Structure 1
């Protein structure tokens, strides 16, 4: 069987940021790698908390209230949208580079881009030039998001061939939980720097940019790749050979795009994310309209926070569970259980059963987060570990597409229903039933996934060249 080969030269003579310099020395504990990945993912998870800046940014000139020359919310909304677009683009197009130069250089580049993006944005606030915010956080910061998201994945999978799901789940859980740190920290910093002449955003951007650069650089310095042919003590690949869905061969990043498996897994991720992301974006409004005069704005905010917790926890729990029940079976649960819950939710709302309504959406959000965390291990099972980081980056275009499709489905269908006389409390019924149908389609796509044909596998000679 083919096996991936890592550079085995003397790392002491290699350039510090080269892939060779990150090869672990004897005695290195693989449990040092997840914290290095978390040091990056907890930082870039700040993206989910960017909305805390939107209100203050509409008062940069007016300070206490928006003035005629201040930016509008619609103009500011493009900052986050650009960041997500460039997250997807950088993750997709930097895949080959990531596999060639290794995780340390990629993670350090991510630190420079993400931290530097905040500094450029701070200058944009100071000069009141929104184009600098688009360039800083949107473009440069978005590139940092994409590189930072995918850079630790292949390394974690190589260190944990026996627990692929758990390893990637730990890191990607950080992305889901980063906003829980960033949101209160950002608000506290803005309050600290607020004055009669400043809303405190520019100063906050500077502090966050420096802090995130330091944290992400520490992660880059701590990361290591395993030596050639390294295996965990007591583990052999033969232990998983009976599972035909786990390949011991490798598929080149370009060849992966020629397989039906790549596009089926793309659809699996797209449909799972579409079914969750639209609801996540409208959760506060949805629960208030579904239980009018019962759920307050404060309670709705608590509901959103609860969903975030389950989103984060689901990334670790489901990804870890996939090591035992298999990646394909894990997605079967996501689609089957998710479809049933979406079908039942309107009934919970109509009968006033708030507890069941909240519980259903909490479970749905665990599977939304779990889908992100499980898919890297799914890709490694199908395509091997040689180019899994780059393949994962290209697959994340499904996230970008779902980021558009999910909110459009929820928002526009709801608006159509309300315009045609449907009560707001019932306006989400058609939407969630459509989500249930999408999950059934996802179930079928997952069912069609088979092992990759041998003709796509790399030869030992190709692996040695890294071709």
Structure 2
């Protein structure tokens, strides 16, 4: 079986339809995207002993918040190390290992809940499933960029949109299973973890076995690489290790970190946040629907914004994310104060669409700046920003909330300060994106050193790109 998983055995034969590759990516990303729905477990996990209400020995929300943060931290860590390994062994073996880690992590977490040992839950869902998240996340990205050189933004959107949509399946599935297994002595989390772990393992294995990579000299039929017209797009390649010596790498790292910090803090507590903001008006089931809606916009935004970036440029796309996003975050607390559930939901849905779009546009941005040869490994290292944000975002939301409530602030108003902080972070991200320039030719690989990108006088400073330059 390990021979079948080898990189050389996953090369597509002549005539292979490249549109068969996105479903393989979705089979993995729709599973690991369940991480965005983990907030539906927080309430039940805080009542494992008390069942109907928290008992003195039950876990607090601040304790449970670290499960998600650890998972995202190990996502970034495994992506950073696994990205380079992926380029060596190929996506099939990487996706196989991801399936074992992600599905197995659920089983270890179930054991932790059964024994009421939080460290086992941290180890299972946090560490093991987190590693599965990272490996599963980066596996299809560079593969699809190679299959779709004519539509880099579309390709990364196809690869990553499933991760945003995972909660749309994971949230209602988890709620259904917990309701089914709930009893007078159990909240139903243990059985739910076991079943979901098995389902996700099977689905990810299907994706691993069906993925294909193009031959080294493959290109779409009838397609000729266009002359470079956008000064931010290069035909040269930068090695993974050399990319980390450029200012562009660190500017994009900060851009991703700040964009993710703002969005992930909301996603980690979305279910509880809307219930506390509109206390009595939003039921747990409706809150799960809100989580699912955010997942839908997260997924749709990944495809929409990354595809749009093929036309308006990556830099301009991020300009929109940061300017519009900051305005919406600053306006959200007011929507809660006036009791407008509709506008509250609409604003967050738009914010999360841009949050998701930031993820899917990033690999194309990296390919533009550093070339396609090592984009998978470079992408993996930039995802350490996600690991940082995975801790920073939920910690900001959880601990500022706890402090506010401790000072006598009503639970529904405890998120106001946090939203203003998130808006400020996005403005810093705007400045970092504004500072990004083409990579200096001295960083190109030796065989590419004579291929600097030729700037076009028709390109705006925002990095906008005419349709013929795609």
TM > 0.5 fold call: yes
Instruction: State which of 247, 251, 257 in structure 2 corresponds to 1:270.
Output: 257
Aligned-partner Cα distance in 1 for 2:413–2:194: 45
**Displacement of 1:159 after TM fit?**
0.5
Q: Are 1:383 and 2:363 an aligned pair?
A: no
Task: Compare 207-216 and 346-355 and name the one that shifted more.
Answer: 346-355
Aligned-partner Cα distance in 1 for 2:441–2:143: 25
Q: Are 1:362 and 2:346 an aligned pair?
A: no
**Displacement of 1:436 after TM fit?**
3.2
Q: Are 1:397 and 2:384 an aligned pair?
A: yes
**Displacement of 1:257 after TM fit?**
0.6
Give the RMSD, CA atoms, in angstroms: 3.3
Which runs of structure 2 are paired with 1:190-229 in the superposition (5 Å)? 190-193=178-181, 200-229=188-217
SS at match of 1:247: coil
**Displacement of 1:317 after TM fit?**
0.9
Q: Which stretches in structure 2 are left out of the alignment for 5+ residues?
A: 450-470
**Displacement of 1:26 after TM fit?**
0.4
Aligned-partner Cα distance in 2 for 1:184–1:419: 32
Q: Are 1:455 and 2:434 an aligned pair?
A: no
Q: CA offsets, 1:293-348, max 9 Å, x none?
A: 87777766654443332222111111111111111111111122223334444555
The verdict on how the C-alpha distance between 1:383 and 1:74 changes in structure 2, with shifts beyond 3 A counting, is same
The verdict on how the C-alpha distance between 1:337 and 1:195 changes in structure 2, with shifts beyond 3 A counting, is closer
Aligned-partner Cα distance in 2 for 1:321–1:441: 23
Please name the residue that 1:4 is paired with: none
Aligned-partner Cα distance in 1 for 2:217–2:96: 26
Q: Are 1:441 and 2:431 an aligned pair?
A: no
Q: Are 1:315 and 2:302 an aligned pair?
A: yes
Task: Compare 403-412 and 289-298 and name the one that shifted more.
Answer: 289-298
Which runs of structure 2 are paired with 1:251-330 in the superposition (5 Å)? 251-283=238-270, 302-330=289-317
The verdict on how the C-alpha distance between 1:137 and 1:326 changes in structure 2, with shifts beyond 3 A counting, is same
The verdict on how the C-alpha distance between 1:437 and 1:202 changes in structure 2, with shifts beyond 3 A counting, is closer
Please name the residue that 2:128 is paired with: 140
Please name the residue that 2:326 is paired with: 339
Task: Compare 292-301 and 352-361 and name the one that shifted more.
Answer: 292-301
**Displacement of 1:437 after TM fit?**
3.2
Q: Please report the TM-score for the alignment, with normalisation by the length of structure 2.
A: 0.84
SS at match of 2:169: helix
Aligned-partner Cα distance in 2 for 1:288–1:443: 31
Q: CA offsets, 1:376-417, max 9 Å, x none?
A: 111111111222111111111211222333344445556667
The verdict on how the C-alpha distance between 1:297 and 1:219 changes in structure 2, with shifts beyond 3 A counting, is closer
Aligned-partner Cα distance in 2 for 1:69–1:436: 37
Aligned-partner Cα distance in 1 for 2:7–2:430: 39
Instruction: State which of 134, 155, 168 in structure 2 corresponds to 1:167.
Output: 155
Contact 2:169/2:292 (8 A) holds in 1: no
Q: Are 1:149 and 2:137 an aligned pair?
A: yes
Aligned-partner Cα distance in 2 for 1:192–1:298: 14
Instruction: State which of 69, 83, 88 in structure 2 corresponds to 1:95.
Output: 83
Q: Which stretches in structure 1 are left out of the alignment for 5+ residues?
A: 1-13, 463-467
**Displacement of 1:235 after TM fit?**
1.9
Q: CA offsets, 1:102-132, max 9 Å, x none?
A: 1011000101111222233344445555443
The verdict on how the C-alpha distance between 1:60 and 1:410 changes in structure 2, with shifts beyond 3 A counting, is closer
Aligned-partner Cα distance in 1 for 2:184–2:284: 30
Please name the residue that 1:84 is paired with: 72
SS at match of 1:238: coil
**Displacement of 1:424 after TM fit?**
7.3
Aligned-partner Cα distance in 2 for 1:67–1:342: 35
Aligned-partner Cα distance in 2 for 1:419–1:62: 23
Please name the residue that 1:11 is paired with: none
SS at match of 1:151: helix
The verdict on how the C-alpha distance between 1:338 and 1:222 changes in structure 2, with shifts beyond 3 A counting, is same
**Displacement of 1:421 after TM fit?**
8.2
Aligned-partner Cα distance in 2 for 1:298–1:169: 30
**Displacement of 1:351 after TM fit?**
6.0
Aligned-partner Cα distance in 1 for 2:344–2:213: 45
**Displacement of 1:88 after TM fit?**
1.5
The verdict on how the C-alpha distance between 1:282 and 1:87 changes in structure 2, with shifts beyond 3 A counting, is closer
Task: Compare 277-286 and 251-260 and name the one that shifted more.
Answer: 277-286
Aligned-partner Cα distance in 2 for 1:430–1:179: 27
Aligned-partner Cα distance in 2 for 1:63–1:429: 31
Q: Please report the TM-score for the alignment, with normalisation by the length of structure 1.
A: 0.84
Q: CA offsets, 1:206-258, max 9 Å, x none?
A: 3322222221111111111111121112222225x112222211111111110
Please name the residue that 1:106 is paired with: 94
Aligned-partner Cα distance in 1 for 2:24–2:322: 32
The verdict on how the C-alpha distance between 1:415 and 1:141 changes in structure 2, with shifts beyond 3 A counting, is closer
